[in-house]
């Protein structure tokens, strides 16, 4: 059974059709990259998968481990093992990072019928992941993303992903706005999650992230549908020839 | 004491009382509640470390429940001994167009005991004042009154707590008058947690002298109707006022505040912050009037007023008012009323947190912005526990409060 199976998916945002027949299958152990010009529907796809209100599925289907994703509330999707790394992580003053991490982890464990995480083990785990992400421990007691720089917010997304160990991570332009060292740190985080059981959907504008997180497949999203798919060499070709080439062929 | 004509209660026709719910007070018997030495079975919170405790039942001092310090700077005076000083001060210095002090005058006319706190120059003291309302409104109204006169450079910590014995529908009309001489500091933390059927009205006046600082942190949770009327006058050069208020109105509660802060001397500073949550059919009003007189060049005033509405029946009105009569002034003012932020909510949901907990967490974070500023740790934790119990998901918030306080 595939991890994620999207078939002929159409979706609207505020009544406007953005996705127009997307089909895509991600199997466990695979990393897929989705590239495409601005306005092609990349972020919409990520929000539709995570269940953001206002992003309506109007046709087709999305199966996550064989379950109809549309029937699940956003929180249930997360507990089932779907993670969205936001392009613009929101700041939540007054709710500190360590609480969010712990509450999220316990919500997932509760759904799986497991006991709450031991406080000591939890902190050991989080500290280890923070070290990998080169984040100072002082971030834990700060409000969620409050006053973080763009790069710090992206690292924080990856930190949450590493702590929650999702089956499928959808990372929406996690690389945008990162300088090269930060990009490498983020890539290291993503690579550390790769395993035979997990899948990653990387949404990106640029080929440079794919130098560090090498995808199994690359798809080009254009005008709300997958216009072309290929292996990692497709990303290099896009870098050279631009998106117009795909749009012309499509 | 000569019989004074009883002043009339304010009405909602008065612009500054438009959002107050005056009915519970109007229905109460105006005579003082008969003296009662028992506290009606109320279990008092544990004493705050380092604070002398003064407990009042229905406006009268209760020696059994109190532990004043041996040489306390506080003492009890009869209303007669406290004299006309306050009324005179109202008339001469504090009266401001549109500010109605009729409740304070009623307190002066009806109350018979005044707690006077008067630390000498350079002295310091910490007092916990707890006012228990035990009588029913049909039996009368209680008239607590406190007067603070802090000497030069004195430093006072005052915790003021208003609670009910049981579920009594008491009527309270309290007065708190503050005069700080040069360089004095008053840290004043107040918590109003009367029963959900009580009427809790108070009038606070403050006269802040040269370089003196008045920090007022107020949390209003109880009462079917509560109203605070504040008139703070920054009267000496460099006087400073930090005023933070938090309010949670649930069910059919109405919480209203009128706060006038007048800068009348140069280089005076105000930091005002209000955070209110109205849920169910709760109503919140906050009217923050800031006056900068021509005699106050170099004044610096910041005001941040925010209301959060949850539920379709809740109402809120925040009204920042600004009157400036000098050019040399810095004034930053913001006021909003809104609902929970959809993006924040979705972010929490996307991390697997259930909707009720996510909503409670965001409400908590919102009100904590104000409550976290309560200086007295004991009272702050008391308020936080009470707020957690008032917001939607009590069990989830139990975890929330614990986790928010836990350091990593």
pLDDT tens for each residue of B98-154 = 566 789 888 888 888 999 999 999 999 999 999 999 989 999 999 999 999 999 999
Whether the pLDDT of residue A69 is over 80: the answer is yes
Between chains, do A53 and B357 touch, taking CB under 8 Å as contact? Answer: no
By CB atoms closer than 10 A (0-12, 13-18, 19+), residue B244 is buried
Between chains, do B369 and A94 touch, taking CB under 8 Å as contact? Answer: yes
Question: How many angstroms separate the Cα of A38 from the Cα of each of A14, A205, A217, A219?
Answer: 18, 8, 20, 15
Between chains, do B403 and A92 touch, taking CB under 8 Å as contact? Answer: no
Q: Tokens 């360089």 sit at which residue?
A: B183
Distance from CA of A157 to the nearest CA of B (A): 11
Q: Which of A92, A126, A137 sits opposite B347 (nearest CB)?
A: A92
Q: Is A26 on the interface with B (CB under 8 A)?
A: no
Percentage above 70 pLDDT, chain A: 99
For residue A143, list chain B residues with Cβ-Cβ distance below 8 A.
Answer: 365
Q: Which of B343, B351, B369 sits opposite A100 (nearest CB)?
A: B351
Q: Which of B346, B357, B408 sits opposite A123 (nearest CB)?
A: B408
Q: What is the largest CA-CA distance in chain B?
A: 69
User: Cα-Cα-Cα-Cα dihedral of A43, A47, A53, A57, to 10°?
Assistant: 100
Across all residues in chain B, what is the average pLDDT? 88
Q: For residue A72, give the DSSP letter.
A: S
pLDDT digits (tens, 9 = 90+) for A21-48: 999 999 999 999 999 988 899 999 999 9
Q: Which residue has the higher pLDDT, A64 or B99?
A: A64
How would you write chain B as a 3-class SS string? CCCCCCCCCCCCCCHHHCCCCCHHHHHCCCCECCCCCCCCCCCCCCCCCCCEEEEEECCEECCCCCECCCCCCEEEEEHHHHCCHHHHHHHHHHCCCCCCCHHHHHHHHHCCEEEEECCCCCCEEEEEEEEEECCCCCCCEECCEEEEEECCCCEEEEEEEEEECCCCCCEEEEEEEEEECCCCEEEEEEEEECCCCCEEEEEEEEEECCCCEEEEEEEECCCCEEEEEEEEEECCCCCEEEEEEEEEECCCCEEEEEEEEEECCCCCEEEEEEEEEECCCCEEEEEEEEEECCCCCCEEEEEEEEEEECCCCCEEEEEEEEEECCCCEEEEEEEEEECCCHHHHHHHHCCCCCHHHHHHHHHHHHHHHHHCCCCCHHHHHHHHHHHHHHCCCHHHHHHHHHHHHCCC
Structure token pair of residue B92 = 């001469």
Q: What pLDDT was estimated at residue B55?
A: 96
Of A147, A173, A19, whose CA–CA distance to A84 is shortest? Answer: A173
Distance CA A164, CA B304 (A): 37
When pLDDT is averaged across residues B374-385 and rounded to a whole number, the result is 93
Between chains, do B351 and A103 touch, taking CB under 8 Å as contact? Answer: yes
Q: What pLDDT was estimated at residue B396?
A: 42
Between chains, do A99 and B353 touch, taking CB under 8 Å as contact? Answer: no
pLDDT digits (tens, 9 = 90+) for B10-19: 888 888 888 8
Of A98, A100, A163, A94, whose CA–CA distance to B341 is shortest? Answer: A94
Q: What pLDDT was estimated at residue B335?
A: 94
Of B146, B150, B157, whose CA–CA distance to B181 is shortest? Answer: B150
Between chains, do A141 and B362 touch, taking CB under 8 Å as contact? Answer: no
For residue A50, list chain B residues with Cβ-Cβ distance below 8 A.
Answer: 350
Of B252, B320, B334, whose CA–CA distance to B289 is shortest? Answer: B320
Which of A76, A87, A97, A99 is best to mutate for the B interface (most B CBs within 10 A)?
A99
When pLDDT is averaged across residues A154-179 and rounded to a whole number, the result is 94
User: If pLDDT is split at 50, 70 and 90, which confidence band does A98 have?
Assistant: very high
Q: Is A95 on the interface with B (CB under 8 A)?
A: yes
Between chains, do A94 and B365 touch, taking CB under 8 Å as contact? Answer: yes
Q: Tokens 């309302």 sit at which residue?
A: B133
User: If pLDDT is split at 50, 70 and 90, which confidence band does B403 have?
Assistant: very low
User: Cα-Cα-Cα-Cα dihedral of B346, B351, B353, B358, to 10°?
Assistant: -40
Q: What pLDDT was estimated at residue B400?
A: 46
Q: What pLDDT was estimated at residue B395?
A: 37
pLDDT digits (tens, 9 = 90+) for B282-298: 999 999 999 999 999 99
Q: Which of A84, A94, A108 sits opposite B350 (nearest CB)?
A: A84
User: If pLDDT is split at 50, 70 and 90, which confidence band does A242 have?
Assistant: confident
Across all residues in chain A, what is the average pLDDT? 93
Q: What pLDDT was estimated at residue B3?
A: 52
User: If pLDDT is split at 50, 70 and 90, which confidence band does B1 have?
Assistant: very low
CATH of domain A4-249: 3.40.50.300
User: If pLDDT is split at 50, 70 and 90, which confidence band does B96 have?
Assistant: low
- Using CA coordinates, name the residue in chain A closest to B343: A90
pLDDT digits (tens, 9 = 90+) for B206-246: 999 999 999 999 999 999 999 999 999 999 999 999 999 99
Q: Which residue has the higher pLDDT, A177 or B41?
A: A177
User: If pLDDT is split at 50, 70 and 90, which confidence band does B35 have?
Assistant: low
For residue A126, list chain B residues with Cβ-Cβ distance below 8 A.
Answer: 408
Q: Which helix (H) or strand (E) holds A9?
A: strand A4-13
- Using CA coordinates, name the residue in chain B closest to A73: B349
Structure token pair of residue B120 = 């000498």
Whether the pLDDT of residue B29 is over 90: the answer is yes
For residue B156, give every residue at least 6 positions away whose Cβ sits within 8 Å of its Cβ, in sequence order, or none. Answer: B117, B119, B124, B125, B126, B127, B148, B150, B184, B185, B186, B187, B188
Whether the pLDDT of residue A249 is over 70: the answer is no
Q: What pLDDT was estimated at residue B404?
A: 45
Q: Tokens 């925040």 sit at which residue?
A: B318
pLDDT digits (tens, 9 = 90+) for B154-163: 999 999 999 9
Q: Which of A77, A90, A111 sits opposite B344 (nearest CB)?
A: A90
Distance CA B222, CA B191 (A): 9
Q: What pLDDT was estimated at residue B14?
A: 85
Q: What pLDDT was estimated at residue A77?
A: 97
Q: What pLDDT was estimated at residue A176?
A: 87
User: If pLDDT is split at 50, 70 and 90, which confidence band does B92 have?
Assistant: low
- What is the value of pTM for the model shown? 0.86
Reported ipTM: 0.97
Q: What pLDDT was estimated at residue A247?
A: 76
- Using CA coordinates, name the residue in chain A closest to B403: A99
Percentage above 90 pLDDT, chain B: 73
Cβ B379 vs Cβ B191: under 8 Å: yes
Q: Where are the domains of chain A?
A: 4-249
Whether the pLDDT of residue B276 is over 80: the answer is yes
Whether the pLDDT of residue B95 is over 60: the answer is no
Of A54, A78, A63, A81, whose CA–CA distance to A23 is shortest? Answer: A63
Q: What pLDDT was estimated at residue B166?
A: 79
Residues B192, B253, B290: CA angle, nearest 5 degrees = 65
Between chains, do A99 and B348 touch, taking CB under 8 Å as contact? Answer: no
How would you write B374-397 as a 3-class SS string? CCCHHHHHHHHHHHHHHCCCHHHH
Q: What pLDDT was estimated at residue B34?
A: 82
Q: Where would I find the H helices in A38-118?
A: 42-50, 74-80, 97-111
Q: Which of B354, B361, B403 sits opposite A102 (nearest CB)?
A: B403
Distance CA B362, CA B345 (A): 8
Residues B209, B115, B112: CA angle, nearest 5 degrees = 125
Distance CA B322, CA B305 (A): 13
By CB atoms closer than 10 A (0-12, 13-18, 19+), residue A151 is middle
For residue A74, list chain B residues with Cβ-Cβ distance below 8 A.
Answer: 346, 349-350
For residue B400, list chain A residues with Cβ-Cβ distance below 8 A.
Answer: 99
Of B194, B246, B258, whose CA–CA distance to B225 is shortest? Answer: B194
> Measured on CA atoms in the order A18, A22, A27, A30, is the torsion positive or negative?
negative
Between chains, do B346 and A160 touch, taking CB under 8 Å as contact? Answer: no
Q: Which of A75, A90, A137 sits opposite B353 (nearest CB)?
A: A75
Between chains, do A73 and B355 touch, taking CB under 8 Å as contact? Answer: yes
Q: Is A134 on the interface with B (CB under 8 A)?
A: no
Q: Is A92 on the interface with B (CB under 8 A)?
A: yes
For residue B361, list chain A residues with Cβ-Cβ distance below 8 A.
Answer: 95, 103
Distance CA B184, CA A35 (A): 65
Q: Where are the domains of chain B?
A: 15-339, 340-408
Which of A107, A121, A160 is best to mutate for the B interface (most B CBs within 10 A)?
A107
- Using CA coordinates, name the residue in chain A closest to B340: A92
Rg over alpha carbons for chain A, rounded to the nearest Å, is 18
Distance from CA of B373 to the nearest CA of A (A): 13
């Amino acid at each position: 059974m595939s991890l994620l199976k999207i078939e002929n998916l159409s979706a609207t945002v505020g009544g406007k059709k953005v996705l127009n027949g997307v089909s895509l299958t991600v199997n466990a152990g695979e990393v897929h990259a989705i590239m495409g010009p601005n306005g092609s529907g990349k972020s919409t796809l990520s929000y539709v998968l995570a269940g953001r209100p206002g992003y309506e599925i109007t046709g087709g289907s999305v199966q996550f481990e064989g379950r109809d994703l549309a029937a699940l509330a956003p929180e249930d999707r997360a507990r089932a093992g779907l993670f969205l790394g936001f392009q613009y992580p929101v700041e939540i003053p007054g709710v500190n990072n360590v609480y969010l991490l712990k509450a999220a982890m316990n919500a997932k464990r509760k759904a799986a019928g497991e006991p709450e995480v031991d406080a000591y083990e939890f902190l050991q785990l989080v500290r280890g992941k923070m070290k990998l992400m080169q984040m100072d421990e002082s971030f834990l007691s700060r409000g969620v993303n409050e006053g973080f720089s763009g790069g710090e917010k992206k690292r924080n997304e990856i930190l949450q992903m590493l702590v929650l160990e999702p089956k499928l991570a959808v990372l929406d332009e996690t690389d945008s706005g990162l300088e090269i060292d930060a990009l490498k740190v983020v890539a290291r985080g993503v690579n550390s999650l790769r395993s035979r059981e997990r899948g990653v959907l990387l949404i990106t504008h640029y080929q440079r992230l794919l130098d560090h997180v090498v995808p199994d497949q690359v798809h080009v999203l254009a005008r709300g549908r997958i216009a072309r798919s290929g292996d990692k060499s497709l990303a290099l070709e896009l870098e050279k020839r631009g998106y117009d080439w795909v749009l012309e062929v499509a | 004491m000569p019989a004074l004509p009883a002043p009339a209660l304010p009405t909602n026709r008065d612009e500054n009382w438009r959002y107050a719910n005056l009915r519970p007070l109007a229905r109460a018997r105006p005579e003082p509640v008969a003296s009662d030495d028992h506290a009606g079975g109320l279990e008092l919170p544990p004493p705050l470390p380092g604070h002398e405790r003064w407990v009042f039942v229905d406006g009268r001092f209760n020696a059994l429940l109190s532990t004043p310090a041996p040489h306390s700077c506080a003492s009890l005076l009869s209303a007669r001994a406290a004299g006309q000083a306050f009324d005179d001060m109202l008339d001469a210095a504090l009266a401001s167009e549109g500010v109605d002090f009729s409740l304070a005058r009623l307190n002066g006319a009806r109350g018979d005991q005044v707690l006077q706190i008067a630390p000498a120059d350079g002295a310091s003291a910490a007092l916990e004042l707890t006012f228990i309302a035990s009588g029913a409104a049909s039996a009368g109204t209680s008239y607590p009154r406190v007067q603070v006169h802090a000497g030069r450079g004195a430093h006072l910590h005052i915790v003021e707590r208003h609670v009910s014995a049981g579920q009594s529908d008491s009527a309270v009309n309290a007065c708190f008058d503050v005069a700080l001489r040069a360089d004095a500091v008053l840290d004043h933390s107040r918590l109003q947690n009367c029963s959900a059927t009580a009427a809790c009205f108070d009038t606070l006046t403050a006269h802040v002298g040269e370089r003196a600082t008045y920090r007022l942190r107020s949390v209003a949770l109880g009462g079917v109707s509560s109203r605070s009327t504040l008139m703070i006058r920054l009267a000496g050069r460099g006087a400073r006022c930090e005023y933070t208020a938090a309010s949670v109105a649930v069910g059919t509660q109405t919480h209203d505040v009128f706060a006038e802060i007048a800068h009348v001397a140069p280089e005076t500073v105000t930091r005002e912050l209000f955070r209110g949550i109205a849920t169910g059919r709760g109503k919140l009003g906050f009217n923050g009037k800031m006056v900068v007189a021509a005699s106050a060049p170099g004044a610096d005033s910041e005001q941040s007023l925010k209301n959060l509405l949850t539920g379709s029946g809740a109402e809120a009105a925040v009204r920042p008012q600004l009157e400036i009569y000098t050019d040399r002034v810095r004034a930053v003012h913001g006021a909003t009323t809104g609902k929970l932020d959809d993006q924040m909510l979705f972010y929490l949901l996307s991390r697997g947190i259930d909707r009720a907990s996510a909503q409670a967490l965001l409400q908590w974070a919102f009100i904590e912005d104000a409550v976290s500023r309560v200086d007295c740790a004991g009272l702050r934790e008391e308020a936080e526990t009470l707020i957690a119990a008032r917001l939607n998901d009590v069990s989830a918030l139990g975890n929330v409060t614990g986790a928010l306080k836990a350091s990593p």
